[in-house]
Each structure stands twice: as C-alpha cells, then as structure tokens.
C-alpha cells in the first residue's frame, strides 16, 4: 500500500504482512517517517495512516496492522471528517469533539462577551451560554483525558 510520495519521487509504502514502512525499499521507523513529514518531504495520499504513524512514533511503538486503524478511508475517493476522540482516564467515558462543536463553542464565547458588554445586562441578566471545555469529561468532570484524532468517512 503506498502512503505517500517523497519529494525525490520515492514511494513511502506500508507492507501489511511485515508491518514495515519502506521508502524506496529502505525500511524506516515511524519516528523517521514523522521526521521526514515534519521536513515537508512527503506528499501524502493516506492522511489517515499518517495519523496512525504519528501516534506510533509518539508512543515509540511499531505500526500495527493499518487496516485495523479506525477511520480507514481513502481521501482520494471519499469525503472525510475528522474529530478528536477523548477517553476519560478516571471513568472511561469516551466522547468526541468535532469541527461543529468548535464552531458552536466559539459562537457562544462571542455571545457571552457581547452580553457582558451590554449596558442593560444589570436590568436583564441573560443566561450565560455554555462554553464547553472539550478536555473535560461530561460524565465525571475530570480533565484527565486522553485524546486522539479520528477520521470518519461521510
């Protein structure tokens, strides 16, 4: 499976059987791929696998079977949306934070600021709109959460 093309034309490939990342036939670790990516040397066709590689590099692990990665989708053929998946370390609750939530949060924050500047807020106290902290667990309120980016096909 080809994941990306190096700026010098060599393909970055992933072998599902050996779970090896290779660039033009030479085996690379996930960290080495991330270093190349940071140097903007890679032109990706599989952004979803890129996330998987980044996570593997961060954890210092090798890449698992890519086909098991959540949100496997070919960006060339399908539209995708990405969300951040949070897992609460205290109670195990899982929740998602997407673009829509970010937009609503920003609108609420602006509306709250507008209300507080209104000269009549003393006469007509308005309820504060909720600005959600995405890292806070909706179940137990703990901020001790783990996050990862997930990509869905739409």
Binding mask 63-92 for Zn ion (x = CB under 5 A): -------------------------x-xx-
Nearer to Zn ion, 52 or 145 (CB): 145
Q: CA quadruple 69, 92, 154, 79: dihedral positive or negative?
A: negative
Q: Are the C-beta atoms of residues 72 and 42 closer than 8 Å to each other?
A: no
Nearer to Zn ion, 23 or 137 (CB): 137
Among 7, 139, 143, 147, binds Zn ion (CB under 5 A): 139
Find the shortest distance in angstroms from Cβ 140 to Zn ion.
Answer: 3
Find the shortest distance in angstroms from Cβ 151 to Zn ion.
Answer: 24
Nearer to Zn ion, 91 or 132 (CB): 91
Nearer to Zn ion, 15 or 144 (CB): 144
Cα angle: 131, vertex 133, 139; to 5 degrees = 110
In terms of Cα–Cα distance, which of 19, 41, 39, 40 is closest to 30? 19
Is 93 a binding residue for Zn ion by CB under 5 A? The answer is yes
Rounded distance between C-alpha atoms, residue 64 and residue 82, angstroms: 21
φ, ψ of residue 11 to 5 degrees: the values are -80, 140
Return residues touching Zn ion (CB under 5 A): 88, 90-91, 93, 137, 139-140, 142
């Amino acid at each position: 499976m080809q994941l990306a093309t190096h700026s010098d034309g060599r393909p970055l490939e992933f072998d599902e059987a050996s779970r090896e990342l290779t660039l033009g036939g030479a085996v690379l670790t996930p960290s080495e791929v991330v270093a190349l990516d940071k140097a903007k040397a890679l032109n990706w066709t599989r952004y979803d696998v890129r996330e998987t590689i980044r996570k593997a590099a961060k954890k210092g692990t090798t890449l698992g079977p890519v086909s098991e990665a959540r949100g496997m989708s070919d960006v060339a053929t399908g539209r995708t949306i990405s969300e951040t998946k949070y897992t609460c370390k205290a109670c195990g609750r899982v929740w998602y934070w997407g673009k829509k939530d970010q937009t609503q949060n920003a609108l609420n924050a602006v509306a709250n600021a507008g209300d507080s500047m209104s000269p009549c807020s003393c006469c007509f106290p308005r309820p504060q709109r909720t600005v959600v902290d995405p890292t806070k667990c909706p179940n137990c309120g703990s901020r001790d959460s783990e996050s990862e980016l997930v990509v869905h096909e739409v």
